[in-house]
Amino acid sequence: MTELEVILAVARRHSFRGAAQELGMSTTAVSGAVAGLEARLKVRLFNRSTRSVALTDAGQRYVERIAPALAEIHSAGEEAGSGPDTPSGTLRINAPHGAASLLLEPLFGPYARRYPEVRIDLVSESRMIDIVAEGFDAGIRLAESVPQDMIAVPLSRDLRMLVVATPEYLERHGTPRHPRDLLKHQSIGMNMSHGGIYRWELEKNGHKLQMDLPVRMALNELSAIKQAVLLGLGIGFISEWLIAEELQAGTLVPVLVPWCMPFGGLSLYYPGRRFVPARLRALIELVKELRLASG
């Protein structure tokens, strides 16, 4: 069990040192555990260099097989040791950037107060991951991005991306009346995890457009994109929930609103295994109780 936990930790952290810190072990012990298991399996699980540690193809297949089994064992142990209705331990959630600010007050705050014995570990990143292989209890993503083999629970109402700028920016550069007018503007772009810049998706009366705009600045953090737009550096395409206060205060102004169509909101998703940890069951029940997606 210890060796398998070490393998998963090294796969998550891409580092022997990071895995050692996570598990409370020495780096030498972690390295020895990996080497010992590789020797018995007669296969290399990780490629090592002075800068990084990465799974081999065989290692990736091995991790994908053992991760669900270990998750089942841990869940069974929790139910046997603390009772099926006693949430405890660490709730690990993987979510996109910005989800924490959206869900902290309506969901994770009430959860933390109701279940003080649970530690919440909310990791935000833009890339899609295998939540089972990387040791997460659940993930949060847009409904359209949830893997088909997962169970999904709606978390929010439909969302909408808005084209926004400051009043001063629009006064200097003009207000777009049609998407083609955006080509005359400088935009604040979003760097995608797979490379390239996010293409703005606009739609009206069934007519869909994907816009490649002149980019003055490209960032990969939603909060930084909002700040750049607030500084008047360009026009932005930002989730409505992220700029609710600025819209109400008038510091950001939406344009081309009829072209900004709503889409499916955020969902909590998790593997449909037999033993769901009590800490995760409690979160699922709270989501349903709060009715966030219908509020």
Taking alpha carbons only, the member of 282, 270, 277, 283 closest to residue 78 is 277
Whether this model's pTM surpasses 0.75: no
Residue 216 in this model has a pLDDT that exceeds 80: yes
Q: Which two tokens stand for residue 207?
A: 């007519």
Q: In whole angstroms, what is the distance from residue 253 CA to residue 115 CA?
A: 40
Q: Mind listing the pLDDT tens digit for each residue in 172-190? A: 999 999 999 999 999 999 9
Segment 219-264, tens digit of pLDDT: 988 889 999 999 999 999 999 988 989 999 999 999 999 999 998 8
**Residue range 1-55, CATH number:** 1.10.10.10
Reported residue count of the chain is 295
**In CATH terms, are 1-55 and 78-158+263-295 the same topology?**
no
When comparing pLDDT for 100 and 4, which is higher? Answer: 4
Domain residue spans of the chain = 1-55, 78-158+263-295, 161-259
CATH code linked to domain 78-158+263-295: 3.40.190.10
Query: 44 by DSSP, 3-state: which?
Result: coil
- Sequence-distant (6+) residues with CB within 8 A of 121 are 90, 91, 92, 93
Identify the CATH number of the domain defined by range 161-259.
3.40.190.290
